[in-house]
Amino acid sequence: MPCCDIFEVFDEQHLLVKEYEYWKLLVRKNHITLGSCVAITKRHHARFSELDKEEIVEFLIVVKEIETALKRLWQFDEINWLMLMMKDHHTHFHVIPRYKNERGFKGIAWKADTTDPDPLKLPRPSIPIEMLVAVRDELRKRMITLK
């Protein structure tokens, strides 16, 4: 089985929100919008079609739990789930909440993302690790088990 460094790339050590049986949910290090995350399969898969039924069923739980937590915390207007795997060839989804209006968190004003409907074209502000850890902590508090 091929090995990769995806958990180091996304800084699991500092940004892990929740570990599931088949998935890990992390705050996205290269934060696009407030609450951006990444859901990563624990087993290495180069293609989505390689997942087994249990991994796919659990992914639906991951989706429900993070969307519920993000909605409760910051009331996103829309949410984008992107599986691009252009750089990291390990099955993972980027979770990008979208906001029509500015959001405040820990003294920082997070701008509305009205620049473009394409999340790949949104500006990527430099967010200090301390702020990312604070986002992680808030999400951990709001994550509920929805099995």
* 30-48 pLDDT tens trace: 888 999 999 999 998 888 8
Is the residue at 25 inside a domain? yes
Which two structure tokens, joined as six digits, stand for 74? 């910051």
Write the pLDDT tens digit of every residue in 86-104.
566 678 899 999 999 999 8
Tokens 């399969």 found at: 41
pTM for the structure as a whole: 0.89
Is the residue at 111 inside a domain? yes
Is the residue at 43 inside a domain? yes
Domain boundaries, position 27: 6-139
pLDDT of residue 88: 64
Is the residue at 15 inside a domain? yes
Number of CB atoms found within 10 A of residue 74's CB: 20
Q: Which helix (H) or strand (E) covers residue 124, if one does? A: none
Is the residue at 145 inside a domain? no
Q: What is the CATH number of the domain that holds 71?
A: 3.30.428.10
Is the residue at 12 inside a domain? yes
CA distances from 52 to 7, 44, 58, 77, 113 (A): 21, 12, 10, 32, 35
Total count of domains within the chain: 1
Is the residue at 37 inside a domain? yes
Which two structure tokens, joined as six digits, stand for 81? 């789930």
Tokens 């460094």 found at: 5
CA 87 to the chain's CA centroid: 16
* Mean pLDDT for back-to-back runs of 10 residues, the chain (147 residues): 74 95 94 93 88 95 96 94 75 92 89 71 79 96 75
Are 100 and 77 in contact by the 8 Å Cβ rule? The answer is yes
Number of CB atoms found within 10 A of residue 83's CB: 10
